[in-house]
Amino acid sequence: MSAQQPVAPVPRVTLTREEAADSLGMSLDSFERYVQPDIRVIRLGRMMLVAVADLEAWAAEAGERTLA
């Protein structure tokens, strides 16, 4: 008998808005108010998805430098 090799998880390309808010460490309300207006969303019926790449780009752009 051959042992099965573990299968690597498939990387996520999109997240739900709830997952996106969690990944940024904020509530869904804060996500909807401060982040969602600045990023693209993918609408599939009532479902809305956010691209991980767009979240990363938003975080990089919204971040402030603490040192001059």
Residue range of the domain that includes 50: 14-61
Rounded percentage of the chain residues whose pLDDT exceeds 90: 75
How does DSSP classify residue 50? Answer: E
26 vs 29: CA distance, rounded Å: 8
**What parts of the chain have a pLDDT lower than 50?**
none
Q: Is residue 34 part of a domain?
A: yes
pTM of the model: 0.79
Would you say residue 4 lies in a domain?
no
Cα separation, 44 vs 11, in Å, equals 20
Domain count, the chain: 1
Domain for residue 7, yes or no?
no
Nearest-angstrom CA–CA distance, 61 and 15: 19
User: Helix 17-24 to helix 52-62 angle, to the nearest 10 degrees?
Assistant: 40
